[in-house]
Every structure is written in structure tokens, then in C-alpha cells.
Amino acid sequence: MLPLNPIDDCFSPYASISTFAADPIYIDLEDLVNEGLLAPEDLDEFPESPIDRTDYDTARTYRMDRLYRAFCNYIQQGDGTKYHAAYESFLAANLWISSHAEFCVRSEKYGTIDWTQWPDEPDEPDALDVALGAIDEDAAEYQISLVFHTFLQLLFDVQWKELHQYCRERGIGLIGDVPIYVSKNSVDTWTFPHLFQLDENGDMPRIAGAPADSFNPDGQRWNSPLYDWDALRSRKYSWWIYRLQTALQRFDAVRLDHFIGFYNYFSMTPEPDPDDPGHWVPGPADEFFETILKEIPDAQFIAEDLGVMKQGVHDLRDKFGFPGMNVFQFNFDHRLSHDPTVEWKQNSVVCTGTHDTNTLTAWINEVLEDAQKGDVPYWNLPFILEMLQPFAPNGQPLDDPEAIRWAIIRKVMSSPGNVAIFPMQDLLGLSAEARMNFPGHADGNWVWRLDESLLTDELADQFHRWTSEFERRFYLESRSKL
């Protein structure tokens, strides 16, 4: 699944205000009713919203109002027994929470998450002084807000642990995602500016990005600060260790986003400069993962090794035995005269597409249209259809996009990769309107919403049969290797 961190104004979880916190929008309100923190009627008047699109603004307004009601009941009436029981252990296990809460409160106070614009503040009063009424009303409100934001993360933590345990009892493993970079306007850069390439004013002399590729001919400017790997190395990568430990407490395995950045990273100027298009800089590579695995020896990592990779990236991945990724949509063009899926490594995660690609149905329609036009020979269509024909369900002819889609899914299932993943959009045959993200485009992303009515028993039975046919059974054991 995508990162759980708070989303940004473009609804992206890859530019979050916090590496460690979760977005409160995911908190289950019905559980708060069960715990006495909300009354059943508090969930009345649920706002209408599109079935296939997430209306984040409406959802957040509705939910935050209910969450504050729950907070007041938690503080004033002592309801929410299981949350009270978990409070002290939550604080002890999550050292990041105080900084996160303070960042949220200051952002609200000053109306911006750009911490470089905040004025200097005196130390805040002790919570005991607040309780005794020994400080003014504004300071008391500040302290209450700190506890509220702590409360939100407590709710998520307790509920997520219950979900994770529920899955494990049923042999279901959860795979998370760790974005390689953090947002400039984040609690991470505010708390640890010395770990990033920031100047004395907190500004970025260079930013993270990527050179030109098939997604963006002009390259990508991510506007994220680069790490100061020397500073991280001098501290034995403790920030990264804690970050990955936190992720692996929530998930059974995690994907390391933009794995190439650990081998070498692309450094760009904040604004386009024709005289300085950017350059590659060596990353921490072997030393980094040796340190990480010494501290977390049973960690399960997936290397997101997509794109044009130097041999050193492959060598780094293979040295530590990390599975890489193979995406069906990236493996076919007009030059192809052999089946590339048979060359996919067993130690890999295989999939039809990712959150950054078009849906499988939309992609098939695009390449069929290109082939029909003849002006862009994208597919060696006769060869591809011949290769897919043995995987057509019930031997049906591959004469329409729907038949081709199922044949591709079955073809990916038959490939050597240990783990096969299919986006729900691809299983459901949804059009381009269901695309999750278009890299380099700020608007219209991250809003696709799964319509539960599409999850039919027929689809479940069909997928179960094929999972058995291709022996795609995954039995989760404690920290078993992918």
C-alpha cells in the first residue's frame, strides 16, 4: 500500500509533513463509538461524496470535528479504556511524537508549514502549570493542542496494531512503502536540519530530482532536500534506522522507494538552470545497508529498482539479497522478439503496473491504438498476442482489450518472481480515470477511490482459482523471507 503519512495539498503521501506520523484521516470513527468516545448519533449526517473519488477536504472536515469531540470525551470523561491503557507505552515507544505534535500546533498557530517563516518562541510552559491554571489562556490552548495531536497518533497506533494483528492471524502480510525523501516543510527538517543539505536559513541550495526519462522528457524536480550523508554517517545512520524500524513495526515488509538514490542521487538547482542541468553524486551504498541490517537483521526490504539503472545499483541490490521489481508495462516495445517475463528473477516482485503507471486497461487501449495507427510502432503486436494466447482464460481469442487484460494478469502470475502484485484497478479493468498518479503532474492525482461494490464474489473466486493454478500461495510466518 501507499505510505500512511499525512498527505500534502496535492494529496500526495510522498511529500508529507512527517516521516513517522500517520494521517488522522484514516482513523476508524466507528471504533471510537464502540469505546464510548463518540455517541452513535455523532456519525449521523455523513457527507455525500463520489463513489470513485476521494473528497479529502470534506472528509477531513467531517472527521476532524468528530475526532475533537472524541478527544474532549477522552480528557474530560475518561472514556476510551483501551486508548488510556496504551497511552504511556505509546509515548515511550514513539520518541518522535512530541516534535510532531509541536510542529502541527506551530503550523496552525502561524498559518504555514514552512518552519523557516516561524518566529522564535520562548519555551512553552509545563503541562502541570496548565492544569493548575497558573498560565494564561493562550498558553493553555497551546498545550491542549499538543495533547490533541498526540491523541490522534495514539488512536491510529492502537487501531493499526489491531488491524495488523487481525491480518497476521489470517496469514496476510502487509507491504508498506518508505519514500526516500522527505518534504522541505516537515517536522523532520525542522527537528534535524543538520541531516539535510540546508543552509543556515533552512533553504535548499540543491534539491532532489531525476533526469529525463520516459515519464518526463524534461526530467523531474521533486523540490525535496537532499540528505547530508556525511552527517548521517557520523551518527551511524541512527535517524534512518529509527525510521525503518518504525515502518517495519507497521508492516511485514517495506518497499524502498527510489532505491537508486542509495547508490547515487541526482542533485539539481532549485530553479531550472541551462548551465547546470544536474549531476549524479555517490550515495552511502554498501556501508548504509550493512549498518541497517546489523541493527535490523530480519528486515524485509523490496528495492524499487525501476528506470535506467547503473550496474552498481543492481550489484548493491543483489549483494544484500533484496528483491527488485519487474513491471509488465515497462517490458514491451517494438524491438522485442522474445518473452521478457521468463528472464525475470525469482527473487523479485512482479506486477502489471504500479501507482505511477496508467491502468492496465488504459495502457492496452493506448498501445492497440498506436499499433493501429502505424505511426508509432510501440508493440510487436502479432508476437505479443502469440505469447499471451496460452494464458487467455479458457483459451478464448485475444481479440479485445478485456481478453488481453486477463491474459496479461495470468502471464504475470506464471512468471518466476516470488511475489506477484496486482493493482486493484488492473484486476477490476478500470479506465484511465482510475489512474492513481501521473509523475511530474501536480493536479488530479491520488484521488481514486475503490468502490466496494466492485469486489464481487465472482472476482474473488476467479482470482482464487488462478492463485492456486499458478501456486501463488503465500504463507506468512514471523519475518519469513519474501
What angle (nearest 5°) sits at the alpha carbon of residue 62, between those of residues 57 and 64? 90
pLDDT one-digit tens code per residue, 275-297: 998 999 999 999 999 999 999 99
pLDDT one-digit tens code per residue, 459-475: 999 999 999 999 887 54
Q: Say what the pLDDT of residue 109 is.
A: 95
Give the 3-state secondary structure of the chain: CCCCCCCCCCCCCCCCCCCCCCCHHHCCHHHHHHCCCCCHHHHCCCCCCCCCECCHHHHHHHHHHHHHHHHHHHHHCCCCHHHHHHHHHHHHHCCCHHHHHHHHHHHHHHCCCCHHHCCCCCCCCCHHHHHCCCCCHHHHHHHHHHHHHHHHHHHHHHHHHHHHHHHHHCCCCCEEEECCCCCCCCHHHHHCHHHECCCCCCCCCCEEEECCCCCCCCCEEEEEECECHHHHHHCCCHHHHHHHHHHHHHCCEEEECCCHHHHEEEEECCCCCCCCCCEEEECCHHHHHHHHHHHCCCCCEEECCCCCCCHHHHHHHHHCCCCEEEEHHHCCCCCCCCCHHHHCCCCEEEECCCCCCCCHHHHHHHHHHHHHHCCCCCCCHHHHHHHHHHHCHHHCCCCCHHHHHHHHHHHHHHCCCCEEECCHHHHHCCCHHHCCCCCCCCCCCCCECCCHHHCCHHHHHHHHHHHHHCCCCCCCCCCCCC
| Mean per-residue pLDDT over the chain, rounded | 90
Q: What is the pTM of this model?
A: 0.91
In this structure, the chain runs to a length of: 482
- Structure confidence at residue 428 as a pLDDT band (50, 70, 90): very high
pLDDT one-digit tens code per residue, 338-357: 788 888 999 999 999 999 99
- Structure confidence at residue 312 as a pLDDT band (50, 70, 90): very high
| Neighbouring residues of 448: CB distance < 8 A, sequence distance ≥ 6 | 52, 53, 54, 425, 433, 434, 435, 436
95-109, 128-142, 230-244, 272-286, range with the lowest pLDDT: 128-142
Q: Say what the pLDDT of residue 477 is.
A: 46
- Structure confidence at residue 216 as a pLDDT band (50, 70, 90): low
CA distance 202 to 196: 9
pLDDT one-digit tens code per residue, 10-61: 999 999 999 999 999 999 999 999 999 999 999 998 888 899 999 999 999 9
Instruction: Break the chain into its structural domains and give their ranges.
Output: 1-173
154-158, 324-328, 437-441, range with the lowest pLDDT: 437-441
Residue of higher predicted confidence among 79 and 359: 359
pLDDT one-digit tens code per residue, 388-423: 999 998 888 998 999 999 999 999 999 999 999 999
Q: Say what the pLDDT of residue 306 is.
A: 86
Work out the average pLDDT over 104-131: 80
